[in-house]
Chain A
Amino acid sequence: MSTEAPEAAPAPEEPRRGTTLRSSKGRMADPLFKWAVASCGTVVLVILALMVLRTTTEAWPVFAKEGFFGFLTGEQWQSGNSRTEITGTYGAWPFIYGTLVTATIAIVIALPLAIMVSFYLTHLAPRRIAKPLSYTVELLAAVPSVIFGLWGLHWFLPNVLRPFFEFLEGVLGWFFLFEGPIRGVGYLSAGIVLAIMILPIMTAIIREVIAVHPVEQRMAAYALGSTRWEVLRNVVLPASFSGIVAAAMLGLGRALGETIAVLMLIGGSQSWGASLFGTGSSMASHIAATFGEATPESRTALMAIGVALFLVTMIVNILARVIVWRLGRMTGDAAV
């Protein structure tokens, strides 16, 4: 401080000193960088807009014939062979249903699992276990989905899921969700494998969120005689709520859009039914399954499914934001 003051004072007497303040570096570099970063952000928006625009225009004839809501709620999917007009019947409801059901199963299974794994990894596991376990979970994220599909279909389904399904049907068969017959492949099989697939990304995020939870608050809860479960439920989870919802959204996003593994496990029928043992298709799996031999007409209809998938994903995300916003204020989450 004392050395700066005398230097600043004589400045007017020495005109040359002023020139040290003039440089093009800061004046040019900062705006340039800002411009570059802003345009990168804009590119993302432009690409998204172009995609939406393009698929919607391509799909337009189908929406024109079936009506937008008619397309979303229609239960029949009969492809026509025309090159110029829409002659078939296109209703996407069985696929929308398949997508929503499998994604819901996945999130219902994966979310609690991811929370427990994260809590164990961050707060309970000894370091020598926590590290390898974290890596293993992350490795799970690197496994290509077709491997999950193959493994699910040829090992997991016959050895684990089928006995489990038979048990479920035996106990809860009277309940419409668990009505037989059991075909093996179906909504539940696809949903459970999806749960395994989205577990790593959710665990990675929830782990980070829980890890930054202030230790003083956990200590306060322990000092009041809380058990570990009470600390997790009453202190850590409420404070990490928005981060956990964000993780669930990422997982849900992946579950909604997952194609190959679902295609291999969901059964591929074009009908829908309430029983979780039933077979069906998801939007993404139906597009992938029929795109190869699609006629120009049914290609248009597949584009329409694409638009519907985009919409469903968007609605789910908006709902999640609303949940975070509403519940976050109630639980006093500092991050909201």
Chain B
Amino acid sequence: MSVSNTATPRGTEPGRGIAPDTVRYNREVPGLGDPVFDISDLSIHYGSNKAVRDVNMQVGPRQITAMIGPSGCGKSTVLRTLNRMNDLIPGARIEGRVTYHGEDLYASDVDPIEVRRRIGMVFQKPNPFPKSIYDNVAYGPRINGTRGNMDDLVEETLTKAALWDEVKDKLKESAFALSGGQQQRLCIARTIAVNPEVILMDEPCSALDPIATLKIEDLMYELAAEYTIVIVTHNMQQAARVSDRTAFFTASVDGEGDRYGSLVEYDETATIFSKPSDQRTEDYISGRFG
């Protein structure tokens, strides 16, 4: 993978859009294949407020799908419907259909606990448990009753998360002793320790400095060989750098004055950033609003 043009994100000048050559990792965009998620006519309500309306998109396997858009556009909300984290918010309910490998995620006999074991999540702020580094990684396998050698599993997981070399001598130390970037990689390790198929990332780098951000991006790129990754990000360059496909959401106001979010355009990342088909997308990526 090339680390060429990362120091200064280019192509952000108004009116030009981000040139496709800012895509950092050179690889073919994998096809949607047999989609992991199929979202159709998805609307999300919070109480009486219909916060997200009519989202249709598919997420392909073993690739990185980015969701971008201004604040309030519903991208994080949509992300949280993919592993039923929205269930934890009182008053949240969905309309429409979200399938995971063809299975309705919201069917009445689907166990949200089981869903979250297969579809992990990494959050905006690094949120390790106040436990040792080792216990953070081992938490998921332990509650899932994973058998086998925990030491090996922890080493293997931390290696995958590109953290092993930095922490191998202090596994028993508190996770809070790590830097923010290390903590976030630990959280990624904690997520992949339960061997999910999908990793959802909700602005995983927004609390990190640029160097730590690049490390997470490298990690995401490597993980995409094995996992399906969906990332919500505020950072357009990040979406351009790491993702294969990008969904652009926007916030609108309906006739009754209610704000809502909706999907404007979803396409291969290079297309979204070079020749978007919707004017709103172009305005956003060229920095004219948002």
State the total of A-B contacts with C-beta under 8 angstroms.
Answer: 67
Known: A216-B127, A219-B123, A219-B127. A224 touches B132 (CB 8 A): no
* Residues A224 and B127 in contact in the complex (CB < 8 Å), given A219-B85, A230-B143: no
Rounded to whole angstroms, the CA-CA distance of A202 and B4 in the bound complex is: 60
Contact across chains for A332 and B174 when beta carbons are under 8 A apart:
yes
Report which of A225, A235, A332 forms a contact with B116, defined as CB distance below 8 A: A225
Mask of B136-155 contacts with A, CB within 8 angstroms, 1/0: 00011001100000000000
How many B residues have CB within 8 A of the partner chain?
28
> Which residue in B130, B139, B176 is a CB contact (below 8 Å) of A224?
B139
Give Cα A221 to B121, complex, Å.
10
Select the stretch in B38-46, B51-59, B187-195 that faces chain A: B187-195
Mark A200-233 against chain B: 1 for CB-CB distance below 8 A, else 0. 0000000000000010110111111111001000
- 0 or 1 for each of B157-196: is its CB under 8 Å from A? (1 = yes): 0000000000000000010100000000001001100100
- Determine the chain B residues whose CB is within 8 A of the CB of A126 once the complex forms: 90
Residues of A within 8 A of B190 (CB): 220, 224
Contact of B132 among A226, A230, A332, A334 (CB under 8 A): A332
State the Cβ distance, B40 to closest chain A Cβ, in Å.
24
Mask: chain B, 80-110; 1 = CB below 8 Å from A; 0 = not:
0001010010100000000000000000000
Asked whether any CB of chain A lies closer than 8 Å to the CB of B225, the reply is no
Interface flag for B120 (CB, 8 Å): yes
- Indicate if the CB atoms of B194 and A235 lie closer than 8 Å: no
Contact B143 A220 (CB under 8 A): no
**Is B131 located at the chain interface by the 8 A CB criterion?**
yes
In the complex, the answer to whether A222 meets B129 with C-beta atoms within 8 Å is no
What 0/1 readout, one digit per residue, does chain A (240-263) give for beta carbons within 8 Å of chain B? 000000000000000000000000
Are B116's CB and A222's CB within 8 A?
yes
B113 contacts A by Cβ under 8 Å:
yes
A224 and B120 in contact (CB under 8 A), knowing A332-B130, A334-B130? yes
User: Which residues of the partner chain A approach B191 to less than 8 Å between Cβ atoms?
Assistant: 223-224
Cβ of B117 within 8 Å of any chain A Cβ, yes or no, is: yes
- Taking A224-B191, A225-B143 as contacts, is the C-beta distance between A217 and B120 under 8 angstroms? no
Q: Are B125 and A216 in contact (CB under 8 A)?
A: yes
B123 touches A224 (CB 8 A): no
Chain B contacts for A127, CB-based, 8 A: 90
Q: Are B140 and A234 neighbours in the complex by a CB distance under 8 Å?
A: no
Interface size on A (CB < 8 Å)?
Answer: 22
Asked if A153 is at the interface of the complex by the 8 Å CB criterion, the answer is no
Q: B129 touching A217 by the CB < 8 A rule?
A: yes
Q: Which residue of A lies closest to B120 (CB)?
A: A223
CA distance A230 to B157 in the complex (A): 22
Residues on B with beta carbons closer than 8 Å to the beta carbon of A238: 130-131
**What is the bound-complex CA distance between A216 and B128, given in angstroms?**
9
| Interchain CB contact under 8 A, B130 and A333 | yes
Considering residues A214, A225, A235, A238, which has the most beta carbons from chain B within 10 angstroms of its beta carbon? A225
Residues on A lying within 8 angstroms of B by beta carbon are 126-127, 214, 216-217, 219-227, 230, 234-235, 238-239, 332-334
Q: A219-B123, A225-B117, A332-B130 are in contact. List 20 more A-B contacts (CB 8 A).
A: A216-B123, A216-B125, A217-B127, A219-B127, A220-B123, A220-B127, A220-B129, A220-B187, A220-B190, A221-B129, A222-B116, A223-B120, A224-B120, A224-B143, A224-B190, A234-B139, A235-B129, A238-B131, A239-B129, A334-B176
Could you list 6 A-B pairs, sorted by A, with CB under 8 Å? A127-B90, A222-B88, A223-B85, A225-B114, A227-B113, A332-B132
